[in-house]
Amino acid sequence: MKTLIAHPLATALVLPLLLSACSRPAPPVPVVPAVYVTPVKYAAVAAERRFSATLAARHESDLGFRTGGKLTARLVEVGQAVRAGQPLARLDAADYELGVEAAAQQLRAAEVDAAQSASDAARFARLLADGGVGAADQERLQAKADAAAARAAQARRQLDLARNRSGYTVLAAPFDGVVTATRAEVGQVVSEGQPVFQLARDRELEVVVDVPEALAAGLRERAATVRLADGAARPLRLRELAPTAAAATRSFRARYALTAPAPADWRMGMTAEVALAAPRGGAEPVAELPVGALLSTQGQATVWVVQDPAATPARLARRPVTVVAQGNDSVTLRGLPEGAWVVSAGAHRLDAGMAVRPVKRPLDAALPGPQPIGATAQVTP
């Protein structure tokens, strides 16, 4: 009787457990990553733009020997000031001196032969006048004398050439300047024309600065000044602008000439600040975003923009932009609509059409319209 009563109770307890064990677990809710976004707000460009620059030599030349040989002496070091005509290095001149002696001996032999031939031609000319020899013999002797004189002149030129090549074993400074680089050591065999030194005119300085591609087109319309630390601003004149942008930075290198002689305390390599005044016609509005928002796609600057901020979840799209200036923490650009939401952190980890949950940056102003804010949201770094 007890067994019959306990059996229904056990069945009632075990049956729910069996049913729950056979049911499938609920699918996990997909996690939509949250991303920091910054709204685009345009403002007028400042009247003056400032860039870091360096002082460089206007003229800088690579110097090499006009002949080849073994370097036996290097007479100057990097940073040493030299005068025009001062010896900088020497090659082993033993072979060239032997060449000079050989050319001198050939010249003496050619001069003796020319003198003898000239004497024979003169004697036959006198005999021809007396009728002692024929005209053909006299002409043959005169041609021989002319050829000997030509060989003597050729030997004289060969001696000059040998002396010149011997003199080329000493490398001298072509102008006053400072040695900025050495590219050969004593004992090294150098070829003709191989650079051995780099020499710069240290008193003819100019200012070298890299400017963004957005400023390159109108750079000549901007008045420029340069200032060193605790110094007065000095006017500049744009002398040269690179025709193409640097592949890594997409900036153009500009070289400015000083309109007045450089002060005596200015040196090559010093850091300077170049100020570019606003161009004629007024300033153009630009937007400033965190530098983490900028991407480079096949040389084109781009950013991620939230397509529909009110959608849940929102989707991303890549948009090209024009970079006006870029610093360590921020980038100034154009090409986006006012109020657009731009991903400002972790942009390199995102893909087009990716579902995200936009979250405002803590230091940014409130975003326009509805925005999801989650204190525990997972933010893409």
Instruction: Tell me which residue range forms the domain holding 175.
Output: 62-91+169-200
Q: What is the CATH number of the domain that holds 315?
A: 2.40.420.20
Task: Give the pLDDT confidence of 274-300 residue by residue, as tens digits.
Answer: 999 876 655 678 888 888 888 887 778
Is residue 195 within 8 A of residue 188, CB to CB? The reply is no
Q: Which residues pair with 219 in a beta bridge?
A: none
Tell me which amino acid residue 72 is. T
Predicted confidence (pLDDT) at residue 55 exceeds the cutoff of 90:
yes
Q: What is the dihedral of CA 20, 21, 22, 23, to 10 degrees?
A: 50
Q: What is the mean pLDDT of residues 33-61?
A: 85
365 domain-assigned = no
Most confident residue range from 7-11, 26-30, 117-121, 240-244: 240-244
Find which of 2-16, 109-123, 363-377 is predicted with most confidence, using mean pLDDT: 109-123
144 in any annotated domain: yes
The separation between CA 88 and the C-alpha centre of its own chain, rounded to angstroms, equals 28
375 pLDDT above the threshold of 70: no
Question: Does residue 341 sit in the same domain as residue 296?
Answer: yes
Residue 153, in any domain of the structure: yes
Residue 221 is predicted with a pLDDT of: 86
Largest CA-CA distance found in the chain, in angstroms, rounded: 177
Helix (H) or strand (E) holding 261: none
- What average pLDDT does the structure give for the chain? 83
Count the domains in the chain. 4
Would you say residue 168 has pLDDT above 90?
Answer: yes
Q: Averaged over 373-380, what is the pLDDT?
A: 35
User: pLDDT (tens digit, 9 = 90+) per residue, 322-362?
Assistant: 887 776 788 888 889 998 999 988 888 888 888 888 888 76
- Confidence label for 363 from pLDDT (cuts 50, 70 and 90): low
| CATH code (residue 103) | 1.10.287
Closest by CA to 56, choosing from 206, 198, 177, is: 206
Q: Classify 92 as helix, strand or coil.
A: coil
183 shares its domain with 246:
no
Contact 240, 219 (CB under 8 A): no
pLDDT at 377: 35
Which segment of 7-21, 166-180, 273-287 scores lowest on mean pLDDT?
Answer: 7-21
Do residues 301 and 338 share a domain? yes
Between 194 and 133, residue with greater pLDDT: 194
CATH number for the domain including 69? 2.40.50.100
| Residue 316 and residue 229 share a domain | no
For residue 139, the one-letter residue type is E
Shared domain check, 289 and 268: no
* 8 falls within a domain: no
> How far, in whole angstroms, is CA 81 from its chain's centroid?
26
pLDDT over 70 (residue 313): yes
Query: Does 373 reside within a domain?
Result: no
